[in-house]
Amino acid sequence: MEESARHLPVLLVLFVAVFGSALGAANLRAGDGFNVTFVPSSAGLRQSVVNVGGPGEAPSLPTAVRPPPIPDDSLERAIRDALGDDAASYAVVVRRLRDGRTFELSPNREFYAASTFKLAVLYEAERRISLGDLRLDDRVTISGEDASEDLGTIGLLELAPDGSLSVADALRAMVTRSDNATAVALLHLLGAPAIDATLRRLGATGISVNTRDLPITAAGMARLMEALVRGEGLTPDARRHARELLLAQEWRDGIPAGLPPGTAVGNKTGTWEGITHDIGFVEAPGGTYVIAVLSEHGWVWDPIARVSAAAWNDLIREP
């Protein structure tokens, strides 16, 4: 079976999530040295210092400087060659984190998220855990409304008699199997408006889980993945936990398929009629990079794998 979003009426999921939110509580390469937190940067800064943002007493974590994006002609040629005449159907952002080498193709074009919205839920959950507002061993209940979104994976959940499971188990099912019931239950718990507020503070533009349109952009999703990889606003344990979940992703036909065997790559896919998306991080010899590839083709993976291979082959060569 394709990932769970393949057959899910995600508009209904968002409808449930938006109105249900009122019911809930309002690696880089070793040696790269990033473990940072967040605060919005001022417009016009060439470098932005990231600190903790958001409500509550934030953990005291180191800060680091995010290098400004540096457009890379070689990377652009490689990815455009990989897409060929179909480039107009895609949006792509690739960014190497240590030096800002970047390529962007239609970065602010809006697409329907499908299951990639679960990345925003993951980040907010890890942020709340870092703040001490949530624990991995806390329980989240799968309501009848949540369970109605199941597409065959709920039977794999180890639910207690009261229909609950740990936050840790819910996150794992949501990320690695793209389970919908746990995703909606967590969205209820965390609150769609709160998640959107966190996305705005991060600067993850063009993303919302608080609308039936469920929009995303390649720029916004790359920024969100970067925040997860760097550990912005997260404790080291939360950062490692998110990384481990993304590395355990079961849907590997896109970005991972274009990489050499054994490459450390974490990703989250999203598919629906007329869309195939993959957002990931790749721990490459030249430094970790994030990559977001969004498309208007349904369940078509090969172009994403080609883009992934092109980015790898270009970025492993030192400039």
Name the pLDDT band for 319 (thresholds 50, 70, 90): low
What integer is the mean pLDDT of 74-82?
98
Name the pLDDT band for 295 (thresholds 50, 70, 90): very high
Q: pLDDT digit string (tens) for 123-169?
A: 999 999 999 999 999 999 998 888 876 665 678 888 889 989 999 99
Q: pLDDT digit string (tens) for 28-73?
A: 332 232 222 222 222 222 233 344 344 444 444 444 578 999 999 9
Instruction: Give the Cα separation of 101 and 35 in Å (integer).
Output: 19
Q: Residue 196 is which amino acid?
A: D
Pick 157 or 82 by higher pLDDT. Answer: 82
Q: Residue 64: in which H helix or E strand, if any?
A: strand 64-66
Q: pLDDT digit string (tens) for 186-224?
A: 999 999 999 999 999 999 999 999 998 999 999 999 999
Burial readout 125-145 (b: 16 or more C-beta within 10 A, e: otherwise)? bbbbbbbeebebebebebbee
Mean pLDDT, the chain, integer:
83
Domain 4-315 has CATH 3.40.710.10: yes
Q: What is the pTM of this model?
A: 0.82
In this prediction, residue 16 carries a pLDDT of: 36
In this prediction, residue 33 carries a pLDDT of: 27
Classified as helix, coil or strand, 276 is strand
176 pLDDT above the threshold of 90: yes
Residues of the chain with pLDDT > 90: what percent?
A: 71
Angle, CA of 228, 155 and 146, to the nearest 5°: 65
Q: Where are the domains of the chain?
A: 4-315
In this prediction, residue 11 carries a pLDDT of: 37
1 pLDDT above the threshold of 60: no
292 pLDDT above the threshold of 70: yes
| Reduced 3-state DSSP string for 303-315 | HHHHHHHHHHHHH
What is the DSSP-derived secondary structure letter of residue 131? H
Pick 95 or 11 by higher pLDDT. Answer: 95
What is the Cα Rg of the chain in Å?
Answer: 18
Sign of CA dihedral 139, 200, 72, 269: positive
In this prediction, residue 147 carries a pLDDT of: 80
In this prediction, residue 64 carries a pLDDT of: 55
Q: In this structure, are residues 284 and 210 in contact, taking their beta carbons and an 8 Å threshold?
A: no
75 pLDDT above the threshold of 70: yes
